[in-house]
Amino acid sequence: MPEIVVESHPIDTVFRTDRLPHIFCPGCGIGPATHAYAQAILESGIPKDQHACVSGIGCTARVPGYMDVDSYHTTHGRSIPFALAIALVKPEMEVTVFSGDGDLFGIGGNHFIHAARRNVDINIICINNFNYGMTGGQAGPTLPLGARATTAPYGNTEPPFNLPYLAAATGAVFVARWTALHVRQLKEAMLRAMQKKGFTFIEVLSPCPVGFGSPNDIGDAIEEVWLYRERCVVNHDAYLPDLEIDLRRKDVPFVMGNFLDIEKEPFDPLAMMKNKGE
Amino acid sequence: MSAEERVLTGSHFLLGDHACAEGGMAAGCDFFAGYPITPSTETAERLALRMPPVGAIFVQMEDELASMSALVGASLSGARAMSATSGPGFSLMMENIGMAAMMEAPCVIVNIQRGAPSTGLPTLVGQSDMMQAKWGSHGDYEIVAYAPSSPQECFDYVIKAFNTADRWRIPVFVMADELIGHMTERVVIPPADQIPRVERKRPRHKPGDESFLHCLAEDEDLVPPIVHAGEGYRVNFDSLTHDEKGYPATFAEPHDRLVRRLVDKIRLHVDQIIEYEEIFLDDAEIAIIAYGSTARSARRAVNDARKEGIRVGLLRLITVWPFPENKVRELSKQVKAFVVPELNLGQISREVERFTSLPVVGVNHAGGVMMAPDPILDTIKEVVKNA
């Protein structure tokens, strides 16, 4: 019998292994997305000491606490201005905000659009599980129309945000969407985001069998993942206004891809001083 | 005046708001994040002009929620960080003032107070936020709040606020009011090498030392050494209750231990922090307790009363928080009554009442107009008559 039990995994070096086990539910998509982030850190060529990971509040916001980098678990919705400050004071650092849809686009939406507008040199990784998971499955700004949540027991009546469209419209230089199943594509997108100067955005559609699956008659995590798998279409050139997610219309695919990759000067509050002599 | 200079050494005729900004410049403020709000905007405007030429970062944020979060991020990256605001902005900052207390991120917030509640009186004076400064964010924590009575004190106490913040790893407030902020007076700025500077306590451990617990206060002062972003320590800062390692520890025992330390590091060292000015208190039978612009009128009322032979003195609060409770207890053995004039309907007077059984008579106006000396003098005479 070959030896299959090993003492460590190469990716352990990016994790605080003394913090395990983690808090995530069985079937949660945060795990694979975190793995992709860890792999991207390893492959980025940027020393661990120069990575910072910042989050707000919620399930996903617990991710920085498991990473062996400078990590900041801030207040609900306020991770982006916190990350902005680190990026400005320590421009040599690779600052990533790793947080959830409710945190970044519900309570924190204003900060997102302004950081994108400024083109702050930070990466945003948003786990979108369509609900507030930590508090037990409430409706959020990404909950699809008609979907149920504990605060939308009769089905959601509000249209959700189309996050890639929003990010591109407000100024991001890199915009991607993948699911937690697309671990390789996710890692590549994260690597690209780390290479780029400026505001990057990656949406990760993620199963949440407890908060989202259960009230929406999705039996378990595998069934939710199958739903994504069956309906996913990769189209890097997709027309961004068409990227809305509607669970009720089975003919509408979930479009994945690296939709935007452009160059723009990143935010520098001292830019005008540097250009003075020219 | 050369904009390239951080410290504008010399004698100036300065607006209080601008003196706050110059205090920040002289203190080595590296990072300002704020949002325009009357009557504090001139502080931001001055810093927008003054910071970039010296390579310091000025950012006008989308709101005060963001400003305060950015202050904590900047502070934990090693910057001396400040903001300036007024009541409505102060309310929005409360969320992340709690985070600054929890993460022990030193920072300075200037509050040029106006009439409140809500939008209240944007352009007119108030001392409305004195209790909010102490209790505004949820939970038990300690801060230090200075109340300057002049543009000179705006300058001096913004510098001191940075030093106090760095010494104790807390948010520190400079609670001026619109009258002081919009008052122009002589401000003397000393040479750069005479600006006092207290450095943050830094870790003795090297990065990678696994015995290092970055939230453990090993010293008697209960202040742990601060770690900055990018130094290789790779530690976790958490707004959740955390243990000495900085890891979330959401249980009763570590919670009580942490919150008690955050509070005790100030409460056990108030003697090193509290400042006040005593005027004619030696033989006083009546003590006035006042702060900010109101203290100026109180001083005039004391002088007028003294001319009439009334033995009245003034305890002018410079630190309002922590409150000088021992001084009030001590005065209680000497005087017959306290008079507390404030541009609110009785905030610090409540604090005075906690530490004396003597009558505490308020002289109050909800704000919008300066506290004139006359109502204070009238109250003094009334108190004398009834004593």
Which one-letter DSSP state was computed for residue B247?
Answer: -
Min Cα–Cα distance to chain A from B103, Å: 9
Nearest to A82 among B52, B59, B70 (CB): B70
Distance separating alpha carbons of residues A251 and B92, to the nearest angstrom: 45
CB of B139 less than 8 A from some CB of A:
no
CB of B59 less than 8 A from some CB of A:
yes
Query: In this predicted model, what pLDDT tens digit does every residue of B219-235 receive, in sequence order?
Result: 999 999 999 999 999 99
CB of B102 less than 8 A from some CB of A:
no
Nearest to B234 among A69, A77, A83 (CB): A69
A-B Cβ pairs (cutoff 8 Å, strict):
136
pLDDT at B5: 87
Query: In this predicted model, what pLDDT tens digit does every residue of A168-222 receive, in sequence order?
Result: 999 999 999 999 999 999 999 999 999 999 999 999 999 999 999 999 999 899 9
Contact between chains at A90 and B229 (C-beta distance less than 8 A): yes
Give yes or no: residues B175 and B62 share one domain.
yes
Residue B1 covered by a domain? no
Q: Which residues touch B306 (CB under 8 Å, ≥6 apart)?
A: B280, B312
Residue B101 covered by a domain? yes
Give yes or no: residues B163 and B20 share one domain.
yes
Last residue of a domain, one of B190, B215, B250: B190
Segment B357-386 shows an average pLDDT of 97
Query: Over 90: is that where the pLDDT of A276 sits?
Result: no
Give yes or no: residues B284 and B151 share one domain.
no
For tokens 């940075």, the residue is B162
Residue B233 covered by a domain? no
For chain A, the three-class secondary structure string (H helix, E strand, C coil) is CCCCCCCCCHHHHHECHHHCCCCCCCCCCHHHHHHHHHHHHHHCCCCHHHEEEEECCCCHHHHHHHECCEEEECCCCCHHHHHHHHHHHCCCCEEEEEEEHHHHHHHCHHHHHHHHHHCCCCEEEEEECCCECCCCCECCCCCCCCCCECCECCCCCCCCCCHHHHHHHHCCCEEEEEECCCHHHHHHHHHHHHHCCCCEEEEEECCCHHHHHHHHCCCCHHHHHHHHHHHEEECCCCCHHHCCCCCCCCCCCEEEEEEEECCCCCCCCCHHHHCCCC
Give yes or no: residues B135 and B283 share one domain.
no
Q: Which amino acid is at A216?
A: N
Using only the alpha carbons of chain A, give its radius of gyration.
Answer: 18
Q: Which residues touch B36 (CB under 8 Å, ≥6 apart)?
A: B44, B60
Q: Which amino acid is at B372?
A: A
Lowest mean pLDDT among A12-26, A40-54, A239-253, B187-201: A239-253
CB of B235 less than 8 A from some CB of A:
yes
CATH (domain of B103)? 3.40.50.970
Please say whether the beta carbons of A238 and A230 come within 8 A. no
More confident residue, B34 or A8: B34
What percentage of chain B carries pLDDT values higher than 90? Answer: 98
Element (H, E) at B90: helix B87-103
Which residue of B lies nearest to A267 if distances are taken between CA atoms?
Answer: B59
For tokens 């890097």, the residue is A236
Residue B248 covered by a domain? no
Q: Which amino acid is at A54?
A: V
pLDDT at A246: 87
Distance separating alpha carbons of residues B251 and B303, to the nearest angstrom: 56
Instruction: Look at residues B104, B82, B77, B80 and name the one whose alpha carbon lies nearest to residue B93.
Output: B82
Query: In this predicted model, what pLDDT tens digit does every residue of B12-32 receive, in sequence order?
Result: 999 999 999 999 999 999 999
pLDDT at A251: 85
Last residue of a domain, one of B138, B167, B190: B190
Segment B204-212 shows an average pLDDT of 95
Averaged confidence pLDDT in chain A: 95
Give yes or no: residues B64 and B160 share one domain.
yes
φ, ψ at B236 (rounded to 5°): -105, 130
Nearest to B70 among A49, A69, A81 (CB): A81
CB of A111 less than 8 A from some CB of B:
yes
Distance separating alpha carbons of residues A77 and A82, to the nearest angstrom: 10
Element (H, E) at B85: strand B81-85
Nearest to B77 among A75, A86, A114 (CB): A86
Query: Over 60: is that where the pLDDT of B4 sits?
Result: no
Give yes or no: residues B142 and B14 share one domain.
yes
Averaged confidence pLDDT in chain B: 97
Query: In this predicted model, what pLDDT tens digit does every residue of A75-104 receive, in sequence order?
Result: 999 999 999 999 999 999 999 999 999 999
Contact between chains at A73 and B240 (C-beta distance less than 8 A): yes
Query: In this predicted model, what pLDDT tens digit does every residue of B241-263 receive, in sequence order?
Result: 999 999 999 999 999 999 999 99
Which one-letter DSSP state was computed for residue B194?
Answer: G
Residue B273 covered by a domain? no
CB of A231 less than 8 A from some CB of B:
no
Which residue of A lies nearest to B73 if distances are taken between CA atoms?
Answer: A82
Query: Over 80: is that where the pLDDT of B206 sits?
Result: yes
| Residue A16: Cβ within 10 Å count | 19
Last residue of a domain, one of B171, B190, B209: B190
Query: In this predicted model, what pLDDT tens digit does every residue of B268-315 receive, in sequence order?
Result: 999 999 999 999 999 999 999 999 999 999 999 999 999 999 999 999
Distance separating alpha carbons of residues B89 and B65, to the nearest angstrom: 8
β-partners of residue A98 are A125
| Residue B55: Cβ within 10 Å count | 10
φ, ψ at B188 (rounded to 5°): -100, 120
Query: In this predicted model, what pLDDT tens digit does every residue of B142-199 receive, in sequence order?
Result: 999 999 999 999 999 999 999 999 999 999 999 999 999 999 999 999 999 999 999 9
pLDDT at A277: 53
Report the DSSP pairing between strands A174-179 and B81-85. Answer: unpaired
Residue B255 covered by a domain? no
Domain ranges of chain A: 11-264
Structure token pair of residue A67: 């990473």
State the total domains in chain B.
2
CATH (domain of B305)? 3.40.50.920
Altogether, the residues listed in chain B come to a count of 387
Query: In this predicted model, what pLDDT tens digit does every residue of A59-70 receive, in sequence order?
Result: 999 999 999 999
What percentage of chain A carries pLDDT values higher than 90? Answer: 89
Give yes or no: residues B173 and B314 share one domain.
no
CATH of the domain spanning A11-264:
3.40.50.970
Query: Over 50: is that where the pLDDT of B1 sits?
Result: no
3-state SS class at B117: coil
Give yes or no: residues B184 and B314 share one domain.
no
Which one-letter DSSP state was computed for residue B192?
Answer: G
pLDDT at A1: 61
3-state SS class at B99: helix
Residue B5 covered by a domain? no
Structure token pair of residue B49: 């002009």
CB of A167 less than 8 A from some CB of B:
no
Domain that holds residue B81: 10-190
Min Cα–Cα distance to chain B from A122, Å: 13
CB of B361 less than 8 A from some CB of A:
no
Residue B366 covered by a domain? yes
Give yes or no: residues B39 and B181 share one domain.
yes
The ipTM value here is 0.97
Distance separating alpha carbons of residues A91 and A84, to the nearest angstrom: 10
